[in-house]
Amino acid sequence: MTPSSAHAYRKAFALRVSPAWRDTCGFSLVEVLIAIGIAGGALAVLLALLSGLLRAAEDNADLQTALRLCATIEARLYEDMGGSFPGALGAAPAGRVYFADKEGAHLRGELENGSSSLPPPHFYIEIKPFSAAPLAYEAGRAVLPLQVRVSWPHAAVVANSGQAGNAQSTEFVLSLTPP
């Protein structure tokens, strides 16, 4: 085949593209910009939802930790009673205040709060006996019902982190019996 006949052969079998089809293949710049805008908007919505979900997960974890503090509080109250039931707990209408860290691992009284070796308090725990019947403690009773209110985050944590108005709390009844 000579070069001129090869050229004629290729020309005869080449795809013929009409000018109208050539204008419609691919995407125009406007279509690409619209697609990028839609994808960007969807990504922004997903990121906004993700931050809310992360905050809700952290709040749920704090609630679970606050509810798990019940056993730790009970053990600490028995320790504070020193073997005498109900000890000073039944006669103290003011109750007690404790603090716990974010994991709930370190429970300390209000006088122990200044220790620098312990993590900062995250939970504020108020414990007081009921003042009115039928749950008020009567001498000789074998059960001491106590009101427990756990609030988080503690005011010191809120002041350091700059979070305002994010405080939550839960309340439950803790019943102590003689050891």
Reply yes or no on whether the pLDDT at 129 is more than 70.
yes
39-43 long-range contacts, CB within 8 A, separation 24+: none
Chain centroid offset of residue 68 CA: 15
For range 35-57, the mean pLDDT:
93
Distance (Å, whole) CA 95 – CA 155: 20
pLDDT of residue 43: 96
Q: Which of 4-18, 66-80, 99-113 has the largest mean confidence? A: 66-80
Reply yes or no on whether the pLDDT at 166 is more than 90.
no
pLDDT of residue 38: 97
45 or 137: which leads in pLDDT: 45
Reply yes or no on whether the pLDDT at 117 is more than 80.
no
Find, among 150, 154, 169, the residue nearest to 70 by Cα: 150
Are residues 125 and 150 in contact, defined by beta-carbon separation less than 8 angstroms? yes
Structural element, H or E, at residue 6: helix 3-13
For range 15-34, the mean pLDDT:
73
Amino acid at 50: L
Complete edge-to-edge strand list for the sheet that includes strand 168-176: 107-109, 96-100, 123-129, 144-152, 168-176
Residue by residue, DSSP assigns 33-80 as HHHHHHHHHHHHHHHHHHHHHHHHHHHHHHHHHHHHHHHHHHHHHHHH
Reply yes or no on whether the pLDDT at 7 is more than 70.
no
pLDDT digits (tens, 9 = 90+) for 47-69: 999 988 998 898 899 889 888 88
97 or 35: which leads in pLDDT: 35
**Integer Rg of the chain from CA:** 35
Reply yes or no on whether the pLDDT at 110 is more than 90.
no
Reply yes or no on whether the pLDDT at 160 is more than 60.
no
125 or 8: which leads in pLDDT: 125
Q: Output the pTM of the full model.
A: 0.65
